[in-house]
Amino acid sequence: MSRTWGHQIRRLADHVVDRADRFGHTCATGKCQGLPIHAVQWNYITGRGGRASYTTRHVCDDHGAKFAAKHNLTIGDPEPERQHPVATAMQAMTSVPGFEPRRRVRVHRTAAGQWYLEQHATGAGMFSHGSRWMAGAPTRAPMNQAIAEAELLLAQLTLVPVGEWTLGAAEATVETAPAYHVEPWASRRWLMRVACNDRGMWQLHQVLDTRFPPIVTDLGNHNMTLDRAIGAAGEHITNCGWFLDDAWIVTDDVAEQTGLHPDQARSVS
């Protein structure tokens, strides 16, 4: 009795093949260096307990044809695009009318004099909590120094206070929101920059302001040109719901463009 069954083969979507080529991915069969074109899958029995499992591998055109012939299969169409369940849930929550992602932030000093930053995120049924020691605020530092350190840490998450801090004896609280929801950044365009780093990786950098970390997306490091990197960046930006203002401006091996975050684009539409 065969320990494998349920063999399937389908073509990979064009954008999946393109990404595989941009990142130098190769056929999963042995040492084959061919570009993955097909996805093959089968079920099998694993371990002494006889548990059933399955595997999926991306293979080149030649090995895909051999797999199909061996198991008498017809190569199927690419699998329909499916959104990740977490992304689906987030989209459902954030599409609620009037939804504002807010985090209640609390800075407090312990009896030993150490400062901690707590974050409580709420909105549309979401809740999360986190706490961290603020190493940049010395033991028994004054409140204003602790608040300044907290705002630096929040900026690393692209969060800014909404309103004034409420001060207590050994604590301070404030509501925060993503900077692109709060003026002056809510109406500010992001700088989109496509360039190759010193390790040969083409990347998209999306910058709102120098005080916030950029959003960095790898675009590829294999068979790449600036034009191809721009195409990959444009596809990524569009798929993520960003709005681009105009054409890319190319200078030497760098391309730049401006645009809006999806939340900003929705607010002006």
Whether 171 and 116 map to the same domain: the answer is: yes
Question: Does residue 22 lie within any of the structural domains?
Answer: yes
* Helices and strands (H, E) in the chain, number of each type: 6, 14
Task: Work out how many domains the chain is built from and give that number.
Answer: 3
Expressed as residue numbers, the domain containing 29 is: 4-70
Question: Does residue 153 lie within any of the structural domains?
Answer: yes
Question: Does residue 77 lie within any of the structural domains?
Answer: no
- From 70, 89, 119, the end of a domain falls on 70
Please report the pLDDT score of residue 268 as a whole number.
63
Where the chain has pLDDT below 70, the residues are 1-2, 83-101, 122-128, 267-269
Whether 225 and 264 map to the same domain: the answer is: yes
Whether 122 and 165 map to the same domain: the answer is: yes
- From 48, 70, 92, the end of a domain falls on 70
Whether 198 and 264 map to the same domain: the answer is: yes
- 37 CB neighbour count, 10 Å cutoff: 20
Question: Does residue 81 lie within any of the structural domains?
Answer: no
Question: Does residue 119 lie within any of the structural domains?
Answer: yes
Distance separating alpha carbons of residues 69 and 40, to the nearest angstrom: 12
Whether 222 and 163 map to the same domain: the answer is: no
Whether 114 and 161 map to the same domain: the answer is: yes
Question: Does residue 94 lie within any of the structural domains?
Answer: no
Please report the pLDDT score of residue 1 as a whole number.
46
Whether 172 and 197 map to the same domain: the answer is: no
Distance separating alpha carbons of residues 65 and 106, to the nearest angstrom: 60
- From 26, 55, 70, the end of a domain falls on 70
Whether 247 and 198 map to the same domain: the answer is: yes
Question: Does residue 76 lie within any of the structural domains?
Answer: no
Please report the pLDDT score of residue 116 as a whole number.
95
**Would you list the DSSP string of 21-74?**
HHTT---SSTT--PPP-EEEEEEEEETTTTEEEEEEEEE-HHHHHHHHHHTT-P
Whether 228 and 161 map to the same domain: the answer is: no
Q: Are 244 and 261 in contact (CB under 8 A)?
A: no
Q: Are 158 and 180 in contact (CB under 8 A)?
A: yes
Question: Does residue 172 lie within any of the structural domains?
Answer: yes
Whether 57 and 116 map to the same domain: the answer is: no
